[in-house]
Chain A
Amino acid sequence: MLSNLKTIWMILRHTFQRPVTVQYPEESIPLPPRFRGRIILSRDPDGEERCVACYLCAVACPVDCIALQATEDEHGRRYPEFFRINFSRCILCGFCEEACPTDAIQLTPDFEYAEYNRQNMVYEKEDLLISGPGKHHGYNFYRVAGLAIGGKDKGEAQNEKPPVDVHSLLP
């Protein structure tokens, strides 16, 4: 009985406490710095798209929400013909970002992409591609890895270092 009265008194004192509610659309919610939100495709500092269509993100994706088709340009440079992410399936786990060898696919802090129509949640390449380098400024995959073009393999040009032997990088 006494504990009941104490409870009532305790609740009554809450009259003078500030609500913990964040009034969301007017006030913004503090996001953690590594928040994982909507996925984008970034470009390298030269303005070319970073994605080399290696399919690693599609393989890593646990919910199979990424679909893409690789193709090559006239220099033998691989890029995705289409790149499609179904955000109604995506669980924002960030595995694609971890898998990506060229830092092309990145998760942003944006989470406000609700739609009335489920089909509108399917983002195509032109929806995903942004104009900047995203989180990794100045990183250009081909500057590091070299580029094989028609008739010339990696590291065969004048003054070009031989490419890194990936087996030597193993732990």
Chain B
Amino acid sequence: MIEILWSLVTIICVLIAALTVSAGLIWLERRLLGLWQDRYGPNRAGPFGLLQVVADGIKIFFKEDWIPPFADKPVFVLAPAVVVMTMLMVFAVIPYTPVIQVADLNIGLLFFLAMSSLSVYSVVLGGWSSQSKYPLLGGIRAAAQLLSYEVFMGLSLMGVVMMAGSFDLRDIVVAQSRMWFCIPQFLGFLIFMIAGLAESHRLPFDLPEAESELVAGYHSEYSGMKFGMFFVGEYLGITLISAMITTLFFGGWLGPVLPPIAWFLIKTFVFICIFILFRAALPRPRYDQLMAFGWKVLLPLTLLNLLVTGALVLVFEG
């Protein structure tokens, strides 16, 4: 009984924390972009402009939620829910501290990969059900991006799995108690970071959205809270990828002095900031450049990383 209660409390806390963080990221992103572009960003509503989040939320709730008459209605309504749901599901398997974790799956890593792949359906279906040209183009791009990046996103993590000898995220964190995996698996870390950018459709890999060429890409026809759901999904994606990088390569909750949850949050926050820095700094590559980079550079590198890691693991453990 007490266990069920404890896990319920954990679930609710994680849910609230994830949604709050993803809402707060809107403010954080705008402030940081402002900082790096030599301006202030939103600083009027409340202290440091923090109430901007509330204002945005109220605004988007009361906006007209319009479904285009030409759209495929059931799919159109379903699509934004998919991304939020799948992203929230993954937060269940992340070990925040030794005690705070909703579900200790022994295939947690595979669950993460599966769910993050499923989230692309949201973009593809959203683009497809809108029945208009720019969303369709965005959806096609999302599908192509998924195909080229999902492959080595999974493969880049296999080095970590080999070294930890487990798919269990908790075991992976514990295995890093001597040395964080970002040192032996530096290549894997870089590749996972790039793939994670592509996975969460963040700049510079926001080709499915690409305001400057595709209006708003897959969510051109969306409005009101459905549009908001896509954005919550996107920010959840950033948080998720940052949390995964922390867990897989930077030793999760491990760290001296401070309590485990603080270390986890600090590391995740740093990676979120790095994501936003990429957005501030890098231009969007052309579509074919992205694909060529994925297949011709990153995939061979990932395989090489896998090969060398495997060989070294065999040598040292054999």
Which positions in A face B, CB cutoff 8 Å?
4, 7-8, 10-12, 14-15, 17-21, 23
Contact partner of B277 (CB less than 8 A), chosen from A11, A17, A18, is: A11
Residues of B within 8 A of A14 (CB): 35-38
Q: Are B35 and A15 within 8 A (Cβ)?
A: yes
B282: chain A residues within 8 A (beta carbon): 4, 7-8
24 A-B pairs with C-beta separation under 8 A: A4-B281, A4-B282, A7-B281, A8-B277, A8-B278, A8-B281, A10-B281, A11-B36, A11-B277, A12-B36, A12-B277, A12-B281, A14-B35, A14-B37, A14-B38, A15-B35, A15-B36, A17-B38, A18-B38, A19-B34, A19-B39, A19-B40, A20-B39, A21-B39
Instruction: Beyond A20-B38, A23-B40, list 15 extra A-B contacts (CB 8 Å).
Output: A4-B281, A4-B282, A7-B282, A8-B278, A11-B36, A11-B280, A11-B281, A12-B277, A14-B36, A14-B37, A15-B36, A19-B34, A19-B35, A19-B38, A19-B40
Determine the chain A residues whose CB is within 8 A of the CB of B38 once the complex forms. 14, 17-21
Of B36, B37, B281, chain A has the most CB atoms within 10 Å of the CB of: B281
Complex-state Cα separation, A21 to B282, whole angstroms: 23
Which residues of chain A have C-beta atoms less than 8 A from B280's C-beta?
Answer: 11
CA distance in complex: A133, B142 (Å)? 67
| Nearest CB of B to A4, in Å | 6
0/1 per residue, B54-71, Cβ < 8 Å to A? 000000000000000000
Bound CA–CA A12/B277 (angstroms): 7
Residues in B with CB closer than 8 Å to A8 are 277-278, 281-282
A8 to B35, CA, bound (A): 14
Give bound CA distance, A23 to B39, whole Å: 10
Residues of B close to A17: CB separation below 8 A: 38
Q: Which residues of A contact B278 (CB under 8 A)?
A: 8
Listed from nearest, the 3 A-B pairs whose CB atoms lie closest are: A11-B281, A8-B281, A21-B39
Tell me the minimal C-beta distance from A143 to chain B in angstroms: 53
Closest chain B residue, CB of each to CB of A6: B281
Q: Which of B264-309 contact A (CB under 8 A)?
A: 277-278, 280-282
Q: Kindly list chain B residues whose C-beta atoms are within 8 Å of the C-beta of A23.
A: 40
| CB-nearest residue of chain B to A15 | B35
Contacts of A12 in B (CB 8 A): 36, 277, 281
Residue of A at shortest CB range from B34? Answer: A19
B275–chain A nearest beta-carbon distance, Å: 12
Closest to B280 in A: A11
Chain A residue at minimal CB-CB distance from B283: A7
A4 to B281 CA separation, bound complex (whole angstroms):
8
Bound-state Cα–Cα, A12 to B270, Å = 13
User: Could you tell me the distance between the alpha carbons of A20 and B37 in the complex, rounded to whole angstroms?
Assistant: 9
| Chain B, range 187-231, C-beta contacts under 8 Å to A | none
A62, B254: Cα distance in complex, Å: 72
A7 CA to B282 CA in the complex, in Å? 7
Contact residues in A for B37 (Cβ distance below 8 Å): 14
Nearest A residue to B279, CB-CB: A11
Asked whether, in the complex, the Cβ of B40 is within 8 Å of the Cβ of A21, the reply is yes
A21 to B37: give the CA distance in the assembly, Å.
10
Residues of B close to A15: CB separation below 8 A: 35-36
- In the complex, the chain B residue whose C-beta lies closest to that of A23 is B40
Nearest residue (CB) in A for B43 is A23
CB distance from B240 to the nearest CB of A (A): 22
> For window 18-35 of chain B, which residues contact chain A by CB distance below 8 Å?
34-35
- Per the bound structure, the CA–CA distance linking A24 and B132 in Å amounts to 42
CA–CA, A131 and B35, complex, Å: 47
Residues of A within 8 A of B39 (CB): 19-21
A167 to chain B minimum Cβ distance, whole angstroms, is: 58
